[in-house]
Amino acid sequence: MPDATQTRDSASSTGPLLDIRNLRIEATVYPPDEPPHDITIVEDVSLQLEKGKVLGLIGESGAGKSTIGLSAMAYGRGGVRITGGEVLVNGRDIRQLNPRGLRHLRGREVCYVAQSAAAAFNPAHRLMDQVVEATLKHGLASRAEAEERARELFGKLGLPDPDNIGQRYPHQVSGGQLQRVMTAMALCSEPDLIVFDEPTTALDVTTQIDVLAAIKDAIRDTGVGALYITHDLAVVAQVSDEIMVLRHGKLVEQGETRQIIEQPQEEYTRQLVSVRKIDHEEKSSGGKAILAAKSITAAYGSSTSDVLKEVSLEVRPGETLAVVGESGSGKSTLARVITGLLPPRRGSIEFDGRKLSKGLEGRSRDDLRELQMIYQMADVAMNPRHTVATIIGRPLEFYFGIRGRERDERVAELLDKIEMGEGFADRYPAELSGGQKQRVCIARALAADPKVIICDEVTSALDPLVAHGILDLLLQLQEEKQVSYLFITHDLATVKAIADSIAVMYQGRLVRYGPKSEVLSPPFDDYTQLLLSSVPEMEVGWLEKAISSRRMESAGN
């Protein structure tokens, strides 16, 4: 009986590891002003996964990827219910299991790696206790054995000091490391299947590449089967054997990874594959700068460590300066200094030929008006109890004193500019999609008739196709209004699409700065090289090439 040690449950060693047939998932929604009703989240999806294989699930938000992934553990998040079809794990239908049987399945046969490891770890317990918890709970090993295995996995996943990192608490470890610890946690009980739910989405590109490589090696070495969920086709192409494209809870296309990337059959898949391409000609007027930051040094509170060190840069009229860097590099702090929210320790801000006061209270209303800001999280940047018309109309009233009919007309014009009809004027933010919310924020910034708009990661929370639309809109508005953008982002594809000049930041310093064509052509400094080579490309085998050609480690390690 050579197989007896491998299959833990009596049923089947012949069938696929995971066999989902005609899955249907529903949820009850409670929209405002409407009676609650059921909606279908996933409809008629079937998939099979063999032992040791990786299936990528890809699609925009709302495509039902995570919901399908969690159905492999018979888990519905927030009132989501599996209402039809079968989910077979190791040959038995887990929908028929009682709560006891389900507990037996979870953490033992199927494990889960969440998108945000920082939130998924309990802040009150040491990492090691959490990593071995499922193994001990299911009686798969003694504590000493489980901890030994965990340390081995920590080493395999490239964590620093694998022997002692388990003694730390979650807040003592960086995001990229936590994501790896979570992968070790999933592997520790030696499950047959792991559901990876966007495990690298919340990470910087430079960290993502390391985590991705670690996950890929771990899957290969342990022979575990995996569902890999992500919205980033380039990422999933690196780890999957097969890819399944989903949209609105339905299957669009399924096939071998190479086929999906190189010969997509469906129109929607083709759009996903080609989404990263906006051709943006670099402008270089060489005119006088509209906004200039001069040797800015800044720190938070009375802290002695400076978050920004001697940063100087310029934005010219009608052009876009992109500021790139990983989290913690000081990008957003720079925006706070320029807007006056954080007075710098040293240095000055010049705007349109005049020197701006360091603090917010010293700036005139025109200073405020001409320098607007758009944020990453559009939904928290708007008052949920104001209508779109009130939100966009507010700067018109505040800066220009425009009221009544005239205001409504201006709001209608602005809505037209952001390609949203007048019908949206009376809607509330909760009734808009993510992309529409961001458009309203853009309209609100435009309403002030600004000279410079600071865009802080404005497309980072959006699906690729929607982000594409927003970038298009921003470029078009720039053409029309000659407004300048200071565009903060960690995404180099976005930078390539929109920037005229680029500033690369690393640990609070400017490491590279100049016109786009110069910054993006060799010779590179080490950090820029790392940053550029870390952006996943839609190409099978890219990951291995990129890892082998690197010259420095990312700051996340």
Partner 1 sequence: MGGHPVIRLIAQRIALGILLLFAASLLIFLGTEILPGDVASSILGQAATPQALENLRNELGLNEPAYIRYFQWLGGVLTGDLGTALSNRMDIATSLWPRLKNTLFLATCAAIVAVPLAIILGLVAARYKNGLVDRTISGLALSATSLPEFFIGYVLMYFFAVYLGWLPSVSTVHEGMAFGDRLRAIALPATALTLVVLAHMMRMTRAAILNVMQSAYIETAELKGLSGSEIIRRHALPNAIAPIVNVVVLNLAYLVVGVVVIEVIFVYPGMGQYLVDHVARRDVPVVQAVGLIFAAVYIGLNLIADVISILANPRLRHRR
Q: Which residues bind partner 1 (CB under 8 A)?
A: 73, 75, 77, 102-108, 111-112, 114, 116, 119-125, 130, 133-134, 137-138, 168-169, 171-172
Helix (H, G, I), strand (E, B) or coil at 176: helix
Four-point Cα dihedral 226, 231, 233, 235, nearest 10: -60
**526: enclosing H helix or E strand:** helix 526-534
Report how far apart, in Å, the C-alpha atoms of 292 and of each of 87, 317, 349, 418, 428 are: 59, 11, 6, 29, 37
- C-beta closer to partner 1: residue 80 or 209: 80
- C-beta closer to partner 1: residue 120 or 475: 120
- C-beta closer to partner 1: residue 105 or 411: 105
Alpha-carbon span 89 to 75, nearest angstrom: 13
DSSP string, 281-298: PPP------SEEEEEEEE
- C-beta closer to partner 1: residue 57 or 499: 57
Alpha-carbon span 163 to 78, nearest angstrom: 37
- C-beta closer to partner 1: residue 133 or 379: 133
- C-beta closer to partner 1: residue 68 or 245: 68
Q: 136-142 long-range contacts, Cβ below 8 Å, gap at least 24?
A: 137/107, 138/104, 138/107, 138/108, 138/189, 140/108, 140/189, 140/190
Alpha-carbon span 56 to 200, nearest angstrom: 14
* Shortest distance (Å) from residue 110 CB to partner 1: 8
Integer-rounded Cα Rg, in Å, for the chain is 26
Name the H helices within 125-228.
Answer: 127-131, 133-137, 143-156, 175-188, 205-222
* Shortest distance (Å) from residue 16 CB to partner 1: 22
* Shortest distance (Å) from residue 243 CB to partner 1: 24
Q: DSSP letter at 317?
A: T
- C-beta closer to partner 1: residue 129 or 256: 129
- C-beta closer to partner 1: residue 6 or 122: 122
- C-beta closer to partner 1: residue 304 or 548: 304
**Contact indicator for 216, 543 with CB cutoff of 8 Å:** yes
Alpha-carbon span 415 to 139, nearest angstrom: 61
Sign of CA dihedral 534, 537, 543, 545: negative
- C-beta closer to partner 1: residue 115 or 554: 115
* Shortest distance (Å) from residue 104 CB to partner 1: 7
Residue 403: exposure state from Cβ atoms within 10 A (0-12, 13-18, ≥19): exposed
Alpha-carbon span 431 to 24, nearest angstrom: 26
Q: Which residues pair with 194 in a beta bridge?
A: 111, 226
